Amino acid sequence: MANSKYEYVKSFEVEDEVMLPNLIIVRIYGYNFRRLSEDHEFEKPNDEQAFNLMNSCAAAMLEEYPDIVFSYGFNDEYSFVLKKTTQFYQRRASKIVSITVSFFSSIYAMKWKEFFPLKEMRCPPFFHGRVICCASMEVLQAYLAWRQDACHINNQYNTCFWMLVESGKTEREAQDILKGTQKQDKNELLFKQFGINYKNLPEMFRQGSCVLRKKAEDIVKYNESGNPIKRLRRKAIVVHSNNIASRSFWDEHPSLLNELGQFGEGIGRVKPEYVKSFQFENKLMPSTWIVVRIDGCHFHRFSEVHEFEKPNDEQALNLMNSCAVAMLEEFVDIVFSYGVSDEYSFVLKKTTQFCHRRASDMVSLIVSFFSSMYVRKWKDFFPQKELKYPPSFDGRAVCYPSSEILRDYLAWRQVDCHINNQYNTCFWMLVKSGKTKSEAQDTLKGTQAREKNELLIQQFGINYHMLPAMFRQGSSVFRKKEGKTAMDKGGDPVERSQVKVIVDHCNIIETRFWDEHPSILDENPFSSIQTDSATVFS
Q: Which residues bind ligand GTP (CB under 6 A)?
A: 295-300, 303, 308-313, 316-317, 341-342
> Which of Mg ion, ligand GTP, none is residue 316 near (CB under 5 to 8 Å by kind)?
ligand GTP
Classify 493 as helix, strand or coil: strand
Contacts of 147 (CB under 8 A, 6+ apart): 72, 74, 77, 79, 208
List, as one string, the DSSP characters of 167-231: TT--HHHHHHHHTT--HHHHHHHHHHHH---GGGS-HHHHH-EEEEEEEEEEEEEE-TTSPEEEE
Chain residues in the site for Mg ion (CB under 5 A): 295-296, 299, 342
> Which of Mg ion, ligand GTP, none is residue 341 near (CB under 5 to 8 Å by kind)?
ligand GTP
> Which of ligand GTP, Mg ion, none is residue 46 near (CB under 5 to 8 Å by kind)?
none
Nearer to ligand GTP, 119 or 310 (CB): 310
Question: Nearest approach, Cβ of 464 to ligand GTP (angstroms)?
Answer: 17
Given a contact cutoff of 8 angstroms between Cβ atoms, the answer to whether 43 and 159 are in contact is no
Question: Nearest approach, Cβ of 420 to Mg ion (angstroms)?
Answer: 12
> Which of Mg ion, ligand GTP, none is residue 313 near (CB under 5 to 8 Å by kind)?
ligand GTP
> Which of ligand GTP, Mg ion, none is residue 131 near (CB under 5 to 8 Å by kind)?
none
Question: Nearest approach, Cβ of 280 to ligand GTP (angstroms)?
Answer: 29
Nearer to ligand GTP, 264 or 468 (CB): 468
Nearer to Mg ion, 343 or 408 (CB): 343
> Which of Mg ion, ligand GTP, none is residue 385 near (CB under 5 to 8 Å by kind)?
none
Strands 343-348 and 23-30: unpaired
In the sheet with 209-222, reading across from the earlier edge strand, the strands are: 127-134, 23-30, 77-82, 68-74, 209-222, 228-239
For residues 7 and 388, what is the distance between their CA atoms, to the nearest angstrom?
36
Start-end of H helices in 280-313: 299-305
Of the candidates 410, 420, 408, the residue with the CA atom closest to the CA atom of residue 342: 420
Of the candidates 25, 33, 32, the residue with the CA atom closest to the CA atom of residue 51: 33
> Which of Mg ion, ligand GTP, none is residue 312 near (CB under 5 to 8 Å by kind)?
ligand GTP
Classify 149 as helix, strand or coil: helix
Nearer to Mg ion, 295 or 532 (CB): 295
Nearer to ligand GTP, 129 or 296 (CB): 296
Contacts of 384 (CB under 8 A, 6+ apart): none
> Which of Mg ion, ligand GTP, none is residue 169 near (CB under 5 to 8 Å by kind)?
none
> Which of ligand GTP, Mg ion, none is residue 54 near (CB under 5 to 8 Å by kind)?
none
Question: Nearest approach, Cβ of 106 to ligand GTP (angstroms)?
Answer: 15
Nearer to ligand GTP, 138 or 295 (CB): 295
Whether the link from the prior residue into 272 is cis, omega within 30° of 0, is no
Nearer to Mg ion, 161 or 299 (CB): 299
Question: Nearest approach, Cβ of 331 to Mg ion (angstroms)?
Answer: 22
Question: Nearest approach, Cβ of 318 to ligand GTP (angstroms)?
Answer: 10
Nearer to ligand GTP, 162 or 423 (CB): 423
Classify 12 as helix, strand or coil: helix
The one-character DSSP state at 93 is H
What phi and psi values does residue 309 have, to the nearest 5 degrees? Answer: -70, 145
Question: Nearest approach, Cβ of 308 to ligand GTP (angstroms)?
Answer: 4
> Which of Mg ion, ligand GTP, none is residue 250 near (CB under 5 to 8 Å by kind)?
none
Nearer to ligand GTP, 106 or 312 (CB): 312
Question: Nearest approach, Cβ of 436 to Mg ion (angstroms)?
Answer: 25
Contacts of 426 (CB under 8 A, 6+ apart): 440, 443, 444, 447, 452, 455, 456
Question: Nearest approach, Cβ of 405 to ligand GTP (angstroms)?
Answer: 24
For residues 174 and 21, what is the distance between their CA atoms, to the nearest angstrom?
47
> Which of ligand GTP, Mg ion, none is residue 310 near (CB under 5 to 8 Å by kind)?
ligand GTP
Sign of CA dihedral 302, 306, 310, 312: negative
Nearer to ligand GTP, 48 or 309 (CB): 309
Name 130's bridge partners. 27
Contacts of 173 (CB under 8 A, 6+ apart): 164
Nearer to ligand GTP, 331 or 412 (CB): 412
Question: Nearest approach, Cβ of 250 to ligand GTP (angstroms)?
Answer: 34
Question: Nearest approach, Cβ of 508 to Mg ion (angstroms)?
Answer: 21
